[in-house]
Amino acid sequence: MKTRDILWSLALVVLATTAGWANPITLESLLNEMTDRTAVARFPEPAYTCRQASSYDQASKAADQPGWFANNDRSFFVRQETNDGREEWVLMDVEGPGAIVRFWVTAPAYKGTIRVYLDGSDEPAITARVDELVGGAALVGPPLSEERARGRDLYLPIPYAKHCKVTFDRPNFHKTKKGEDLLYYQINYRAYAPGTEVESFSMERLAAAKAKVDQLQKDLLEPTKLRMPNNSAVSENTERIEPGDSFNYMPASDSAPKPGAVYCLSVKLDAEDVTQALRSTVLVMEFDGEQTVWCPVGDFFGGGVGVNPFRGWYRVVKKDGTMLCYWVMPYEESCKIRLENLGKQPVTGTVGVWRGPWKWDDRSMHFHATWRQERNIKTANGGRAAIDWNYVVAEGQGVFVGDTLTLLNRDPAWWGEGDEKIYVDGESFPSHFGTGTEDYYGYAWCTPAFFQAPFHAQPRAEGPNNFGNVTNTRVRLLDGIPFTKSLRFDMEVWHWRKTEVDYAATTYWYGRPGATANHAPAPDEATQPVQYRTPVTIPGFTLQGMPPGQVELQNLTDHGAGKWDNDDQLWWTRAKPGDRLTLVVPVEKDGTYRIDALMTKARDYAIVQYYLDGKRLGDRIDLFDPHVVPTGPVTLGQAKLAAGPHQLAVEIVGANPEAVKQYMFGLDRVALVPVE
């Protein structure tokens, strides 16, 4: 056993003897814990540590040695062994009671079989093709097991009493050099103190828990159905906050429950520039006289830059800009909540607080949100200037429960080859060493597409490609990381190009009274102007501002090379009827012009209406087709135009009855044809 493992075991024994044992750990108890939002607000009992097995590049030995930023994070295993005549590669092999609580994989091809051996048995308790086990339906369906943006995740807990070994039976890529043999993986698992009673997973126990699993799956997709305690109270205040001012939405009050907890918090900001307001308006929270939250509002709720609707188990951002948080936030004596307007414009803030009673004890913890931003971080081609960028160092006793990364990428190339490195209680080598930033956030292959799931999401990805503002967020339930002295979270900044990036990280964690973080409030950073990517440009027009939804350049060569100009289009997604996208069309000289638009038809495309300088132009255009095809030139009408810029707007007005109601729109180019 490694020295690190011995120290962990000793620490767990100490915690166990001082706290006393809880009830046995079972599949059912872990499922209950996943939707009990109060559970994470108390230091865990029985005690455990959270660790990670992964395919990180084994050339990474130490920060002061070559190879620390090595990037071949695939197909590295514990060892090779033969089981029942099969050659198998071991992904994870751990002694003692525990539970697998998150399993992530990706690969160019999914041909191998995963086997999970429990408690020393020669027969696997689970056997399934890798993509059927993780992200498929071998054990359970979505959302506990599903594919999101080419990353495959399994969150169904797999408890074990004495031992767990996970194997993969494909040939090793490092020997064959065949892409079909590649496997990238991460396995987060709990290691309980020796002697903790755990009931091991079996397919029979999973079948017996079917009703509970089914209810859990439903609950995870309905995060806003909040279960409030008895004697709860709701307060909501709307206040205009002038630049430089603040407003206390929840001052300390004798009328508040003592001890108590905030069970839900909602914030909605209104301002002329809402995007800037979400960064320069700061949420500040104090519990029992300790300021534990200082964070820009947009970052706190996981949306990042602008209003980016998404739905997760702990945070929800609605299309109207209402943002909700469901982390339970206990206090023994007092709670204060305020908004500070650090910007240059008035902001109207509407804050709702749902409070209720809480039984304070020696395991109760305060909620923390720590924010850090650094702009213009220099990168170099191929990661030669990779650095470990610190999210947070937390001191004291607590549990790390998630984070949001908001970044600005000034190059279309991939920015996120960097691995997470998480050190618990003073480790010299991280117990969590990842395989890539997007892998940590549950997706893969630098996919620049919106996705959402209960525990992870990419609410914003401007594009084209990986250019512009991006937001990745993750919450940790069963895979939360307890620490007794400290936790340090670093993420490699590893970019494929020589450029500059801005990183802003929000970390969410619980701490016993007195716990602290290394990053202080940063008003100078919060007041920096939000930057947008360079507007999307295609011959004939420029995008004006950012419409609702998401806009990017989409390559269409898969649907026929040469059918579209430059084989790409402006692609507008996540819109709804009534939304408008505005283009700036330059006119070189006065004249009368026929206005042609070259667009795309597909089964999930909308019916649209064009407007020129605010006036309706032509008839509605139905862009439904069973296949992805170009429209060719479509004449919108003709107009007498003065030299200079003109506004051409496209409004989503509906969809064909046969269409998939995604209301997408694709524009190849706009042509102005002089009329003699």
**Residue finishing a domain among 220, 255, 275:** 220
Same domain, 207 and 245: no
Same domain, 655 and 545: yes
What number of other Cβ atoms are within 10 A of residue 409's Cβ? 27
128-180 residue pLDDT tens: 999 999 999 999 999 999 999 999 999 999 999 999 999 999 999 999 999 99
Q: Average of pLDDT values for 246-260?
A: 81
Residue 286 lies in a domain: yes
Token readout for 473 is 């967020």
Give the closest residue to 261 by CA, choosing from 229, 293, 213: 229
Residue 484 lies in a domain: no
Residue 451 lies in a domain: no
- The residue ranking higher by pLDDT, 549 or 103, is 103
Residue 498 lies in a domain: no
pLDDT of 4 strictly over 50: no
Q: Which of 17-26, 531-540, 622-631 has the lowest mean pLDDT?
A: 531-540
Same domain, 68 and 143: yes
Select the highest-mean-pLDDT range: 424-428, 444-448, 587-591.
424-428
Same domain, 114 and 150: yes
Residue 425 lies in a domain: no
Report the pLDDT value the prediction gives residue 533, as an integer from 0 to 100.
55
Same domain, 239 and 203: no
Same domain, 253 and 138: no
Percent of the chain surpassing pLDDT 70: 94
Domain of 9, in residue numbers: 3-220
**Residue finishing a domain among 220, 254, 281:** 220
Report the pLDDT value the prediction gives residue 233, as an integer from 0 to 100.
83
pLDDT of 6 strictly over 90: no
Report the pLDDT value the prediction gives residue 437, as an integer from 0 to 100.
98
pLDDT-based confidence at 556, cuts 50/70/90?
Answer: confident
Report the pLDDT value the prediction gives residue 532, as an integer from 0 to 100.
65
- Give the separation between CA 297 and CA 300, rounded to whole angstroms: 5
pLDDT of 212 strictly over 70: yes
Report the pLDDT value the prediction gives residue 8, as an integer from 0 to 100.
40
Token readout for 171 is 């040939």
Q: Give the CA count within 13 Å in the CB-facing half-sphere of 151.
A: 32
pLDDT of 347 strictly over 80: yes
**Residue finishing a domain among 220, 247, 271:** 220
Report the pLDDT value the prediction gives residue 388, as an integer from 0 to 100.
97
Same domain, 35 and 157: yes
Same domain, 100 and 51: yes
* H, E, C per residue of 288-315: CCEEEEEEEHHHHCCCCCCCCCEECCCE
Residue 381 lies in a domain: no
pLDDT-based confidence at 244, cuts 50/70/90?
Answer: very high
Q: Average of pLDDT values for 580-606?
A: 93
pLDDT of 567 strictly over 50: yes
Same domain, 211 and 319: no
Select the highest-mean-pLDDT range: 95-99, 573-577, 637-641.
95-99
Q: Which of 227-231, 447-451, 455-459 has the lowest mean pLDDT?
A: 227-231
Q: Average of pLDDT values for 521-541?
A: 76
Report the pLDDT value the prediction gives residue 3, as an integer from 0 to 100.
40
Residue-averaged pLDDT of the chain? 92
Same domain, 253 and 136: no
Question: The pTM is what?
Answer: 0.80
267-310 residue pLDDT tens: 999 999 999 999 999 999 999 999 999 999 999 999 999 999 99
Report the pLDDT value the prediction gives residue 375, as an integer from 0 to 100.
96
- Give the separation between CA 294 and CA 369, rounded to whole angstroms: 7
37-62 residue pLDDT tens: 999 999 999 999 999 999 999 999 99
E strands in 96-182: 98-106, 113-118, 126-129, 145-148, 151-154, 158-160, 163-168
Residue 428 lies in a domain: no
366-416 residue pLDDT tens: 999 999 999 999 998 777 779 999 999 999 999 999 999 999 998 878 999
Number of domains in the chain: 3
Same domain, 65 and 195: yes
The type of residue at 12 is L
The CATH number given to whatever domain includes residue 565 is: 2.60.120.260
Burial of 465 (0-12, 13-18, 19+ CB in 10 A): middle
Residue 388 lies in a domain: no
Same domain, 78 and 12: yes
- Give the separation between CA 546 and CA 374, rounded to whole angstroms: 24
pLDDT of 224 strictly over 70: yes
Report the pLDDT value the prediction gives residue 420, as an integer from 0 to 100.
98
Q: Average of pLDDT values for 575-579?
A: 94
Q: Average of pLDDT values for 424-452?
A: 96
Report the pLDDT value the prediction gives residue 343, as an integer from 0 to 100.
97
The CATH number given to whatever domain includes residue 244 is: 2.60.120.1390
